[in-house]
Amino acid sequence: MTDPNRMADPRSGRSRRRRSVALTTALATALAALTLGAAGQVTGGPAAAAEARTAKAHVDNPFAGASFYVNPDYAAKVKGSIAKTSDTALKARMEKVKRYPTAVWLDRIAAIHGGDANAGRKSLADHLDLALAQKKRGKPITATFVVYDLPGRDCASLASNGELPLTQAGLDRYKSDYIDVIAKVFKNPKYRNIRITTVIEPDGLPNLVTNTADPECAQAKSSGIYVKAAQYALDKLHAIPNVYTYLDVAHSGWLGWDTNLTQTAQLYTEVAKGTADGLSSVDGLVTNVSNYTPLEEPFLTDPDKVVGGSMVKSGAFYGWNANFDESDFTRNLHRALVAAGWPASTGMVIDTSRNGWGGSARPTAESTSTTLDTYVTESKADRRAHRGLWCNVDGAGLGQPPRSAPSGAPDSHLDAFLWVKPPGESDGAGEDIPNDEGKRKDPMCDPNYTVPNAGNSKTGALPGAPLAGHWFHDQFSMLVKNAYPAVPTGPAAPTAPDATAKETP
């Protein structure tokens, strides 16, 4: 997953949404009773039948009141890092992180089937079976899967190139061998009690907003392949009552400029309206997937504040982008979508897996400098030299733990914080590593590379990184050390609902 960042210049009162909700409660109950009565007799009587009826309803926020699936494949990787770690306190924190929920990436066709062809990882059906095993009676469970195999994937970068070509043949295979197969697994009746949440094609549509100067992205747009693929995925997955669809929408450092945000709302509206069920085919949007943009900049709260004769948003780091963080971005993006006709019930999710920026470098107070760029540098939590630096960034830390319906940012309409990018999985390699995954070296992952369109800054990438998606022990250790908030070593639950979204210094 990459972020090229080629820059061009109240939760309360939300109405319930979606197709099955359009039925009256009485009719829905009657239909459920007719179709599930026998199931109740077979699987445990009235209580089990009532649970099955509840699971059938497509709710407004699938994460609310639910537990989260914990992926044992991820836990095994963390266990390997624990074995390499001598620091007792760090090991204890790693043990805690091992029990945190993370998304499962279906980043190629082999990932659906698992096994040796997918580095020994579990199949999609395996994960859903395990989610059922983790589910507690009477309490819903969510399991999140990243749908990530576009034809010509990541057109503006190299680290996460995919297996399918940007051709009609590639699109046909995407439909038949990828989306159709995923949908067939999801539709298995035994999984009806799992709220399956999907993150649709990270970076795909955002590349069509800003990166069409790149020939491959221009082809992705002119051919319509990215849009057709996204629409097909939405149509197939939305048709399954217990599946929830969230479109990836990059992050504030990529699409936060007014012009980009307007174009984003237009494109996503056109894509959604082109599906069979229109805007109803999308449950929400996900920001900051695999990125490092902070949830909040606690000391930079007013982009129009004047320092040294200029507004803070005009500084070199922000470049007139007034969306400094993901709380700002989700709020303003939601407003733009509603203005374009989307329902106010549209939910937002933020990937907080690596945007904590803790550690000794985190500022503890607003700068007193009267020089604008110095003021911004000393005040911002985001320690990158440029917001366009996205690969295995040195100094980053874990962010807020996954949780449902976080409070503290009501205008952002947040359904959840998720760890979509499993912390410790590489963003990409800075050198050639032979592989059969279609992934290539990317200069943005080379710590010695100077980035022309990032103020001639070095990438800030950690050295020695493996291929995108492969385990990177050094990065994982760093993320745990620099977590903000710090990873607890006591018994505190990492997925408690209704925790505050607002960061405090």
Tens digits of pLDDT across the chain (505 residues): 444 444 333 223 333 333 333 333 333 333 333 333 333 333 344 544 555 554 568 999 999 999 999 999 999 999 999 999 999 999 999 999 999 999 999 999 999 999 999 889 999 999 999 999 999 999 999 999 999 999 999 898 776 678 999 999 999 999 999 999 999 999 999 999 999 999 999 999 999 999 999 999 999 999 999 999 999 999 999 999 999 999 999 999 999 999 999 999 999 999 999 999 999 999 999 999 999 999 999 999 999 999 999 999 999 999 999 999 999 999 999 999 999 999 999 999 999 999 999 999 999 999 999 999 999 999 999 999 999 999 999 999 999 999 999 999 999 999 999 999 999 999 999 999 998 887 889 999 999 999 998 989 999 999 999 999 999 999 999 999 999 999 998 664 444 343 333 333 3
Bond preceding residue 46 cis, omega within 30 of 0: no
CB within 8 Å of 30: residues ≥ 6 apart:
none
Which structure tokens are listed for 22?
A: 């359009």
Closest C-alpha to 274, from 222, 231, 328: 231
Quote the radius of gyration of the chain (alpha carbons, Å). Answer: 22
334 Cβ contact partners less than 8 Å away, ≥ 6 residues apart: 346, 348, 411, 412, 413
Q: Of residues 394, 427, 442, 446, which has the active-site annotation?
A: 427
Give CA–CA dist 244/500, Å, rounded.
24
Q: Pick the catalytic residue: 107, 149, 203, 394?
A: 203
Q: Is 25 helix (H, G, I), strand (E, B) or coil?
A: helix
Residue 229 has, within 13 A of its CA and on its CB side, a CA count of 32
Note if 427 is an active site residue.
yes
User: Which residues contact residue 426 at a Cβ distance below 8 angstroms, ignoring those fewer than 6 apart?
Assistant: 392, 465, 466, 467, 468, 469, 470, 471, 472, 475
Compute the C-alpha angle 97/113/246, nearest 5°: 60
Q: What are the beta bridge partners of residue 58?
A: none
Give the DSSP letter of residue 211. -
Vertex 422, ends 416 and 424: CA angle to 5°?
A: 140
Q: Residue 264: helix, strand or coil by DSSP?
A: helix
**Do residues 193 and 140 touch, judged by C-beta distance below 8 A?**
yes
Cβ partners under 8 Å of residue 42, min gap 6: none
Longest CA span, the chain:
74
Please, which residues bridge with residue 458 across strands? 450
Residue 286, H or E segment: strand 284-287
Residue in the block written with tokens 């960042």: 5
What is the C-alpha separation between 255 and 262, in angstroms, rounded?
A: 9
Judge whether 409 and 345 are in contact, CB under 8 Å: no
* Of 381, 382, 378, the residue nearest 367 (C-alpha): 378
Give the whole-angstrom CA distance, residue 235 versus residue 33.
27
pTM of the entire predicted model: 0.88
Distance CA 140, CA 55 (A): 7
CA-based nearest residue to 12, from 339, 417, 411, 497? 411
Residue 304 bears catalytic tag: no
